[in-house]
Amino acid sequence: MISCKDFLRELNEYLDEAVDPATKQHWQSHVDECPNCFVIVDTTKKTMQVYKGMEEQQLPVDIKSRLMQALERKMAARKSVPQ
């Protein structure tokens, strides 16, 4: 039986249906038996439906610029941390 942690790690593939049918059925069995994972899947699917129905909005240029700068700083900080 797959654990909740393992299932959640693969949630994107499960929702995108990017896996073979046997794996999908294995994961579906877990969802059918696990109320917590069922709620996560159900809520995520409903959230995706809501967002798919919305019109795309453009980010204001100044906000996009600040966001990109913040991401660049974060990535630079990660690179400077020894592994």
Q: Looking at the predicted structure, is the pLDDT value of residue 4 above 90?
A: yes
Range of the domain at 20: 4-80
Cα distance from N-terminal residue to C-terminal residue, the chain: 34
Closest CA to 10 of 41, 36, 39: 41
Rg, C-alpha atoms of the chain: 18
Q: How far apart are CA 26 and CA 64, in angstroms?
A: 41
Q: Looking at the predicted structure, is the pLDDT value of residue 33 above 80?
A: yes
Residue 79: band (very low, low, confident or very high) from pLDDT cuts 50, 70, 90:
confident
Residue 31: band (very low, low, confident or very high) from pLDDT cuts 50, 70, 90:
very high
pTM score, whole prediction: 0.61
| The total number of structural domains that make up the chain | 1
Q: How far apart are CA 24 and CA 15, in angstroms?
A: 10
Half-sphere exposure of 30 (CA within 13 A, CB side): 20
Higher pLDDT, 1 or 50: 50
Residue 83: band (very low, low, confident or very high) from pLDDT cuts 50, 70, 90:
low
